[in-house]
């Protein structure tokens, strides 16, 4: 069986960031994910440990792709765009 790299990162302690709106997050979200909407990611990136891998997701993968680019630009080394909420492992 193929190993899911996102699942492996989460199991090893990656920070999971939901970049959807607070309303979307409240409706449903991945367990233990922190909500930092994409339009706030640049100003709130210090809330995420740069030393840890980061997994970002949204509804479809578009906002999380943008958030991943921003985090990489800010110096985060390991950032993975997991796509949408329903693409997350074991969800």
| Positions marked active-site | 58
What single DSSP character describes residue 2?
-
Sign of CA dihedral 64, 12, 50, 78: negative
Q: How many CB atoms lie within 10 A of CB 30?
A: 20
Based on its alpha-carbon atoms, the radius of gyration of the chain, rounded to whole angstroms, reads: 12
């Amino acid at each position: 069986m193929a190993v899911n790299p996102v699942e492996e990162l989460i199991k090893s302690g990656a920070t999971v960031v939901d970049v959807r709106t607070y309303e979307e997050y409240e409706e449903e979200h991945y367990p233990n994910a922190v909500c930092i909407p994409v339009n706030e990611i640049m100003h709130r990136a210090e809330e995420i440990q740069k030393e840890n891998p980061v997994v970002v997701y949204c509804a479809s993968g578009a906002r999380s792709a943008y958030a991943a680019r921003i985090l990489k630009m800010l110096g985060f080394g390991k950032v993975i765009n997991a796509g949408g909420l329903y693409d997350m492992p074991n969800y």
